[in-house]
Amino acid sequence: MNIELMAVVGLVLVLLLSWSNGANDISKGIATLVGNGCANARMAVLWGTFCTTLGGLVALLWGAALIKTFSSAFLAASFTVDLRFIASTLIGAAGWVFVATRLGWPVSTTHALLGGVVGAVWAVAGFSGLQMDAVSKKALLPLLISPLIAIGLCAGLLVAARYLAQRVPGWTPGCCDEDEWRQNPYACESRDEKIKQQSLSWRGKAWTGLHWFSSGLTSFARGLNDVPKIAAFLILIASLSPALSQQLGSGSSGPIILVTMVMAAGSLLGSFRVLNILAHRVVPLDASQGLTANIGTSMLVLLASPLGIPVSTTHVSTGSLLGVRWYDRIKPSQGDALKTILFAWLVTLPVAAGLAVLAAAIL
């Protein structure tokens, strides 16, 4: 297979991974909006897609560290990057994320990419082709501890939120619908139906607006963190293909913009299966819980992205939800949903690695 044909295959795989990432990961930022009734699924997806796209475009300025991490930091100096390695990595990562998305499983694209890299390098050159120290310190360790940090951080944030929430009126049966109170805790502050229908109080508007902002910030952080990881492989492909390089232009701008646009399309058209699981089957949330989970997620991901630390938005966001659940001792509305997510976490890296090994053997 000649270089240009392999480059086209690689481009298609990058686009498939970008689409699957958008379809799978958009729910991480908007699940709390849907889960507590602030927005319907369609409106939440539109909002999350807009903010994710904005984050992806900001990666033009802040994504250099992550691009470097995923394009070269895990590889030994003696390892030669070629299109066979790149295609095998992308087949492993894109194949698994695509299948998981079709099944409605929220999985980590970061884990899938890491598994694809490890599997492809091992198939081509053995473990001598990897910088194991970099893999463990720059990838495995952050990926393992970030959900734990998110759980602890959100539990701590919820303490502060509960302190502030002492002045927030609780739901009183018969005062208003419980779903209405979840969206706006001040909806029941008056029993006068005429006053309630005039407008929400400024406090209720501020509360709802803050939840929307925190959801948007989480989606923005996801775009900023995920786009450079995928664009790194498109940059590698372009460096080996003169024709593709000419189409994308020099530097990282073309790959980042292309990945961002395809990711946005995947979010708009393919995200509803995973969103249903995170919004309704992991944990029911009130407004303060959803706000806390979003703030915890966005804080960790925004801190990690400019440093080139490849945390998994999937793991951090679900860890945030679990931190809320653990602190408030909430049981999931469907017992097997969390087991499904944990199972998907455990198998993502080895399955992606296995697919990459198989692809390398065929190619």
| Most confident stretch, 91-95, 99-103, 133-137, 286-290 | 91-95
First to last CA, the chain: 9
* Sign of the alpha-carbon torsion through 262, 265, 270, 272: positive
| Most confident stretch, 32-41, 123-132, 343-352 | 123-132
The whole-number pLDDT of residue 198 equals: 46
The whole-number pLDDT of residue 251 equals: 81
The whole-number pLDDT of residue 199 equals: 46
Say if residue 286's pLDDT is above 70: no
Say if residue 176's pLDDT is above 70: no
Q: pLDDT tens for residues 325-358?
A: 666 666 655 454 566 667 777 888 899 999 999 9
Cβ proximity of 233 and 10 under 8 Å: yes
**Identity of the residue numbered 206:** A
Say if residue 88's pLDDT is above 90: yes
Question: Between 331 and 137, where is the model more confident?
Answer: 137
Mean pLDDT, the chain, rounded, equals 79
Model confidence band, residue 201 (pLDDT cutoffs 50, 70, 90): low
Question: Between 201 and 89, where is the model more confident?
Answer: 89
The whole-number pLDDT of residue 68 equals: 86
Question: How far, in Å, CA of 189 to CA of 94, rounded?
Answer: 50
Mean pLDDT, residues 229-233 taken together:
94
Residue 249 has, within 13 A of its CA and on its CB side, a CA count of 8
Model confidence band, residue 2 (pLDDT cutoffs 50, 70, 90): confident
If one counts every other C-beta atom within 10 angstroms of the C-beta of residue 278, the result is 25
Secondary structure of the chain in HEC code, one letter for each residue: CCHHHHHHHHHHHHHHHHHHHHHHHCHHHHHHHHHCCCCCHHHHHHHHHHHHHHHHHHHHHHCHHHHHHHHHHCECCCCCCCHHHHHHHHHHHHHHHHHHHHHCCCCCHHHHHHHHHHHHHHHHHCHHHECHHHHHHHHHHHHHHHHHHHHHHHHHHHHHHHHHHHHCCCCCCCCCCHHHHHHCCCCCCCCCHHHHHHCCCHHHHHHHHHHHHHHHHHHHHHHHHHHHHHHHHHHHHHHHCHHHHHHHCCCCHHHHHHHHHHHHHHHHHHCHHHHHHHHHCCCCCCHHHHHHHHHHHHHHHHHHHHHCCCCCHHHHHHHHHHHHHHHHCCCCCCHHHHHHHHHHHHHHHHHHHHHHHHHHHHC
Question: How far, in Å, CA of 100 to CA of 274, rounded?
Answer: 9
Say if residue 197's pLDDT is above 50: no
Percent of the chain with pLDDT over 90: 31
Considering only CA atoms, which of 108, 83, 149, 134 is closest in space to residue 25?
108
Q: pLDDT tens for residues 140-155?
A: 777 677 767 766 766 6
Question: How far, in Å, CA of 327 to CA of 283, rounded?
Answer: 12
Residue 161 phi/psi, 5° resolution? -65, -40
Segment among 12-16, 179-183, 207-211, 224-228 with least mean pLDDT: 179-183
The pTM score is: 0.80
The whole-number pLDDT of residue 358 equals: 96
Segment among 84-93, 255-264, 291-300, 320-329 with least mean pLDDT: 320-329
Question: Between 330 and 278, where is the model more confident?
Answer: 278
The whole-number pLDDT of residue 11 equals: 93
Say if residue 182's pLDDT is above 70: no
Cβ proximity of 223 and 54 under 8 Å: yes
Query: Looking at the DSSP assignment, which residues form a beta bridge with residue 130?
Result: 75
| Most confident stretch, 5-14, 68-77, 332-341 | 5-14
Mean pLDDT, residues 228-237 taken together:
93
Displacement of CA 219 from its chain's centroid (Å):
8
Question: Between 222 and 170, where is the model more confident?
Answer: 222
Considering only CA atoms, which of 328, 20, 342 is closest in space to residue 161?
328
Mean pLDDT, residues 120-131 taken together:
90
Say if residue 5's pLDDT is above 90: no
Say if residue 259's pLDDT is above 60: yes
Percent of the chain with pLDDT over 70: 71
Say if residue 188's pLDDT is above 90: no
Q: Is 8 exposed, middle or buried (0-12, 13-18, 19+ CB in 10 A)?
A: middle
Say if residue 193's pLDDT is above 80: no
Residue 280 phi/psi, 5° resolution? -120, -15
The whole-number pLDDT of residue 330 equals: 61
